[in-house]
Amino acid sequence: MLWPSILADHRIYLRQIDAWRGRHRLIVIDGPGHGASGPAPGPFRMSDCSEAVVEILDTLGVSRPVVLVGTSWGGAVAGEFAISQPRRTRAVVMLNTPFRRAEDGPTFKDRFVVWGARWMHGTGLYRDGVARAFFLPATRSRNDPIIAHFHQHLREADGPALRLSVDSVLTERESLAPRMHRIAAPTLVVAGRRDDMYPIEGLRSAAADLPAGRFEALDTAHISVVDAPDAVIELVDDFLLSLPDLPR
């Protein structure tokens, strides 16, 4: 199951979907207020997103344990699911995932991102600002359809629905760091060395508490699946091959 970051839809995973289609059954999510998903009914927490994953799996008739792959927001959802549903979790891949919530509450930057999601999401100023935080300069400048999809998604988003989700993720997200030891499933954590949003050493420190964790760093900004798609595919493939009873 693939869950993307806030301010992006499932299309950040297009390279991975192409690589894994036919080898794995893929369940690809757009979070509430993003892409093809409707708005959330109200403010939510990561535990609510975990419950939504349970509902999706039940609706699709998936009874076997699953591998959850999440970027940023999606990684937080994957962690919550692994804690609350250990028997349904085969493995977890947490990409560029914030494990700690700011102790002093949302920063001014976070508040601007939330406000802008409602009122400025369609403007070049807002989209370019988010892109600078998410992607390396080389990624932003190349003629990549995924970058075009990213801008299209923000232009076409429903402002109130987008703002509700961004606010919930940035301000209501529970800290995973104190609970990493409760994620029993094999877990791959991937961080970006050039991710200015969530410095790598903080992620490495939190990942050290995983009972069955593996930490890898890539030369990317915040959205590694777009900055280094082939490297992410290789890391995840190698990780999955290390799971002895995962169906081939």
Average confidence (pLDDT) per 10 residues, the chain, 248 residues:
98 98 96 96 96 97 97 98 98 96 76 95 97 97 94 97 96 91 98 94 95 98 98 98 72
> Which pLDDT score, from 0 to 100, does residue 104 have?
65
> Which pLDDT score, from 0 to 100, does residue 102 have?
67
Number of domains in the chain: 1
DSSP SS3 for 60: helix
Name the CA radius of gyration of the chain, rounded. Answer: 17
Whether 19 is in a domain gets the answer: yes
Whether 119 is in a domain gets the answer: yes
CATH of the domain at 158: 3.40.50.1820
Whether 248 is in a domain gets the answer: no
Whether 247 is in a domain gets the answer: no
DSSP SS3 for 157: coil
Residues 219, 128: Cα–Cα separation, whole Å: 21
Q: How far apart are the first and last CA of the chain?
A: 16
Torsion of CA 128, 134, 136, 138, to 10 degrees: -50
> Which pLDDT score, from 0 to 100, does residue 218 have?
98
Residues 108, 171: Cα–Cα separation, whole Å: 12
> Which pLDDT score, from 0 to 100, does residue 248 have?
47
Whether 95 is in a domain gets the answer: yes
Instruction: Provide the token pair at 79.
Output: 């962690």
Residue span of the structural domain in which 8 resides? 2-241
Taking phi first (over 0 means left), then psi (-120 to 50 degrees means alpha), and beta for anything else, what does residue 110 get?
A: alpha
Whether 53 is in a domain gets the answer: yes
Residues 162, 59: Cα–Cα separation, whole Å: 25
Strands 187-192, 213-218: pairing kind: parallel
